[in-house]
């Protein structure tokens, strides 16, 4: 039985249908990546998973239960690190831990927070404020804060998109390592096919919007851990990338409508501006059909 499931889900904003007839079944412990164009509706899809918005039609279920609203069983990491600026790294993570585990003692909550700060390699920055951190470090705090809530499903909405290439690949490796250790169910949204293939068990393209929908997923059987440096030369990786990119291009192509019509040129002959304006020889604008034939003598 699938763990997280979307059945015939669609969502509109005003008169625009953003997502149309989305069907998806995710198994427990699976890492699924959804790859889509910018503005296609990826965040809308994540918000549906998180229960932040409700579908207009269809259902979203987690472990057989219909989702009625947001809950700590689904941890969402946003595109832009959303930290509280007046709290330190440690305090940002602890705040979430305090909310989710009110039954634990203060000592247990501190220990739990420390474990997750260490997991994302931020122990040395634990007393720093978000303004004193780099983008990559801030995104790590977001990941630590979400993981510390022990969600059943981790929802990653382009968590690496705001980072430079090097930081991006470091944090990507960290996400892969953490997933291998925890084996929680992960849904990652990205616009980078390589990133999706490097991380996921299954990559699913989202067509271009409006009325975006998911097309057939591509299973990724590459052994883990996956090292980008070696994968670039790996035939299976290249084949997966080819499949994902081809599928995305096909999914993005809009059906073209062609019409044929006669092109009617304007019935006008422009004014002759090569002759001075006040000259009596200057020809004004004329209608093409009024042009008279004239005979010109050619002197050899």
Ligand X SMILES: Nc1ncnc2c1ncn2[C@@H]1O[C@H](COP(=O)(O)OP(=O)(O)OP(=O)(O)O)[C@@H](O)[C@H]1O
Q: Contact 213/206 with Cβ under 8 angstroms?
A: yes
Q: Rule CB under 6 A: is residue 86 a binding residue for ligand X?
A: no
CB 207 within 8 A of CB 215: yes
Applying CB under 5 A, the site for Mg ion has a residue count of 2
Q: Taking a C-beta distance cutoff of 8 angstroms, is the pair 163, 131 a contact? A: no
**Can you tell me which of 35, 42, 149, 155 binds ligand X, judged by CB under 6 A?**
42
Decide: 21 and 182 in contact? Cβ < 8 Å: no
What is the total count of residues that contact ligand X (CB under 6 A)?
Answer: 11
Contacting residue, 43, 61, 211, 234, with ligand X by CB under 6 A: 43
> Closest Cα partner for 146 from 95, 76, 79?
76
Q: Between 8 and 16, whose beta carbon lies closer to ligand X?
A: 16
Among the candidate windows 26-34, 41-49, 83-91, 131-139, which touches Mg ion by CB under 5 A? 41-49
Among 24, 26, 44, 139, binds ligand X (CB under 6 A): 44
CB of 112 to ligand X, least distance (A): 32
Name residues contacting ligand X, limited to 173-202 (CB under 6 A).
none
Q: How big is the CA angle at 27 (ends 23 and 31), to the nearest 5 degrees? A: 95
Contacting range for Mg ion; rule: CB under 5 A; set: 34-42, 58-66, 132-140, 231-239: 34-42
CA dist 134 and 140 (Å) reads 10
- Return the closest-CA partner of residue 162 out of 277, 82, 260: 82
CB-based contact 93:148 (threshold 8 Å):
yes
Binding to Mg ion by residue 43, rule CB under 5 A?
yes
Element (H, E) at 26: strand 16-26
Taking the complex as a whole, the smallest distance from the CB of residue 145 to ligand X amounts, in Å, to: 21
Nearer to ligand X, 116 or 158 (CB): 158
Binding interface with ligand X (CB under 6 A): 13, 18, 36, 38-44, 79
Binding interface with Mg ion (CB under 5 A): 42-43
């Amino acid at each position: 039985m699938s763990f997280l499931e979307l059945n015939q889900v669609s969502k509109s904003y005003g008169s625009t249908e953003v997502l149309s007839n989305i069907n998806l079944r995710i198994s427990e412990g699976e890492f699924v990546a959804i790859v889509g164009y910018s503005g296609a509706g990826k965040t809308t899809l994540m918000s549906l998973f998180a229960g932040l918005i409700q579908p207009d039609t269809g259902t979203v279920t987690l472990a057989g239960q219909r989702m009625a609203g947001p809950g700590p069983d689904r941890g969402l990491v946003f595109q832009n690190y959303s930290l509280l600026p007046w709290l330190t790294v440690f305090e940002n993570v602890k705040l979430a831990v305090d909310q989710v585990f009110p039954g634990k003692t203060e000592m247990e909550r501190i220990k739990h927070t420390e474990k997750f700060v260490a997991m994302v390699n931020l122990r040395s920055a634990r007393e720093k404020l978000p303004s004193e951190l780099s983008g990559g470090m801030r995104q790590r705090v977001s990941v630590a804060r979400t993981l510390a809530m022990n969600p059943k499903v981790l929802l990653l909405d382009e968590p690496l998109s705001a980072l430079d290439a090097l930081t991006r690949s470091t944090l990507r490796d960290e996400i892969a390592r953490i997933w291998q250790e925890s084996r929680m169910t992960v849904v990652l949204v990205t616009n980078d096919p390589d990133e999706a293939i490097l991380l996921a068990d299954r990559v699913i393209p989202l067509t271009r919007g409006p009325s975006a929908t998911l097309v057939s997923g591509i299973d990724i059987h590459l052994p883990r851990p996956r090292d980008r440096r070696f994968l670039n030369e790996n035939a299976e990786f290249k084949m997966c990338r080819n499949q994902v990119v081809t599928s995305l291009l096909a999914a993005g192509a809009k059906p073209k409508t062609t019409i044929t019509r006669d092109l009617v040129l304007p019935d006008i002959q422009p004014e002759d501006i090569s002759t001075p304006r006040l000259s009596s020889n200057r020809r004004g604008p004329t209608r093409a059909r009024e042009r008279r034939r004239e005979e010109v003598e050619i002197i050899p």
